Structures are given as structure tokens and as C-alpha cells.
Amino acid sequence: MPITTLSSFIEFPNLGWKFHINDSIHLFGDLSIKWYGLLIAVGFLLAVLYGLKRAEEFGIDPDRMIDVALLTVPVAFVGARLYYVFFSDSVAEYLADPISILKVWEGGLGIYGGIIVAFVFGPLMCKLRKVKIWAMFDLTALGFLIGQSIGRWGNFFNQEAFGGNTDLPWAMTGDIIQAGYNGSGYDPTQPVHPTFLYESLWCILGFVLLHILSKRIVRRFDGMIFCGYMVWYGAGRFAIESLRTDSLMAGTMRTSQLVAILAILLGVVLFFVLRRYSLSLPTALVIAVKDEGDTQEEATEEVEIQAETTPDTTEEDTDGTAN
């Protein structure tokens, strides 16, 4: 039973590499799995496993984290699809045939749409499950970087999300690229930038840096990692998007670059707002207690009262356990 049909190729001519690939894994009969969907699923699974491992460090109950994720991800997926549809050049065709909007297997997801919807719908689910919102945002941001770094390799198999022509050592080409599909404004006879690879590496580096930051900072406040994610991803996406040949447009400006600028600005503003709020909260109360058993001496006992970083953290579970 063949695992995949090697009908296409991708080549890195300056490196002497050539790969025979297909965009799907064929199992049996007409049943097949798209590499893109498979890699997104793998990225999601690894993000969830990472979240489960670190949830308690962020003051989040792992079971409740799963509840929030399982309810938010499908909605975010819909947001990613609608983002692509409404900023696509074919939006009129989609609206004329609404059923075609459901045909995600034909391609077309906008990662920004998924991110925006996740961080809009997510707080509602956090409230329902009594999960600290900004702490959940921090954990989700790290998970997004894992998922994005892996999911971008789906573009490799689809030969999409590439940039303009280049003669750099890692320049790539392929049969679909040479046919002039999935992009415009480039010479199909010449190699192009593998911008999907740039974004994957940028996300991996961002994950490593923010993971270390979340481990090493003594005074970490809820929302700090999320702000770092918005600035980091926004900056990288703005630069990488300028190379791409398949950008969605908002008038004369690339949509992703516009959203990237807004993400950077929001991340910076939120950082200072949340930091100022966290610094205004007490971290510990020291109470001096005289020990009658000591002679002419006083003993002090420190009672630490952990400051809550968000209003919803004072809520209690129905079983009496603080969230």
C-alpha cells in the first residue's frame, strides 16, 4: 500500500537538493490526508501537551485549560477561514456561492483570523471555566508559536506562501511554483524565497526566547508573555510578508502587514498597562508576632499573601477551592 504518491517535486537548486512530494498522504482507495491539515493537527497536539506540562506554573488547572482550548480552537478555525474569504480577491465568488466557503480542503486559511478570534472568544470561555484570563493568554501564546512553527511546513508540501525571486543558497523552486500558481509578480523560471521557512524559524526562535523568559523572570506578571508574542510575531510577520507573492490586500496595503503593525502597538501598550497594574498590587504582608516562649527575644513570622493579577482570580470553585 503506497503511503504517498510522488507526483510533484520541490528543488533547492543552489544546494543540489530535490524532493519528490505530494500535498497529501494517500492511505487506501480515495482516502487521503492533506499534509497541511496533518501538520496543523500535530502542532495543536504538541501545543496542548506543552500547555498541560506548564499549566500549573501559570496558576491554571490543566483540566480547565483543556476545556477552554477544545471549545476555542474550532471557533478560531472558523475565524481563520472567514479572514481568508473576506480578504481574498475571490470574495465575490465566495459570497455568490456560500457553500464554497465550507470547502477548506481546497485551501485558504488566514492565521491572523484564527488568532484574533481565539483571543476574543477565549476570555468568555475562561470566565465560564474560571480560568485566569491573562495567564491563559500567556500559555496560549507559547502554544501558538509551537503550532505555527510546525503548521507552516504544510505550505512546503502545497508549494505556497513563498516569496519573490532570489539567488540565495536556500532559494527554492518546484513544479507548482514554475507553473505560476499560488503567487504572482515573480519569474516562475527562477528560484524564490521560501518564506514559509522564514516564518517557521522565526516562530521557533520566538518560542525558545519566550519560554526562557517565562522561566527566568522573578517578577513575571500575567499577560507579559502574550505581549511579547504579539510584538515578536508582529515584527517578524511584517518583514516576511513584504517578500511574499500571495498576500491578501486591504486596498493598496498588505492586510497582514497592517494587522502586524496593530499587533505590535497593542502589545507594547498592553505590556505597560498590565505591568503598572501588577506593580500596584501587594506581594506580601509581614506580620511581627511575639513568641512568649522566648526570653527577651521577639520572633517574626512572615505570612505571604500572593497577589492576584487579574480580577477573576478571586473567584472560587463550587467545591471551595480557590482558582
Looking at residue 200, its amino acid is S
Q: Does residue 305 have a pLDDT over 80?
A: no
In whole angstroms, give the CA distance from residue 117 to residue 83: 10
Q: How far is CA 2 from CA 30, 37, 81, in A?
A: 12, 19, 31
* Cα(310)–Cα(312) distance, integer angstroms: 6
pLDDT tens digits, residue range 165-196?
999 999 999 999 999 988 899 999 999 999 99
233/70 Cα distance (integer angstroms): 24
User: Which residue shows C-alpha cell 455568490?
Assistant: 96
In the chain, % of residues over pLDDT 70:
83
Those residues with Cβ within 8 angstroms of residue 230's Cβ, 6 or more apart along the chain or in another chain: 141, 263, 264, 266, 267, 270
* Helical packing angle, 224-241 and 255-279, nearest 10°: 160
Q: At what angle do helices 255-279 and 111-129 cross, to 10 degrees?
A: 30
More confident residue, 180 or 305: 180
d(CA 233, CA 249) in angstroms, rounded, equals: 19
Q: CB neighbours of 129 closer than 8 A, spacing ≥ 6?
A: 64, 67, 68
Residue 226: pLDDT band (50, 70, 90) is very high
- 104 burial level (CB within 10 Å; 0-12, 13-18, 19+): middle
Query: Of 30-44, 101-115, 260-274, where does mean pLDDT reach its minimum?
Result: 101-115
**Which H or E run contains 11?**
strand 8-12
How far is the C-alpha of 82 from the C-alpha of 87, rounded, in Å? 8
Per-residue pLDDT tens for 228-237?
Answer: 999 999 999 9
The answer on pLDDT for 256 being more than 70 is yes
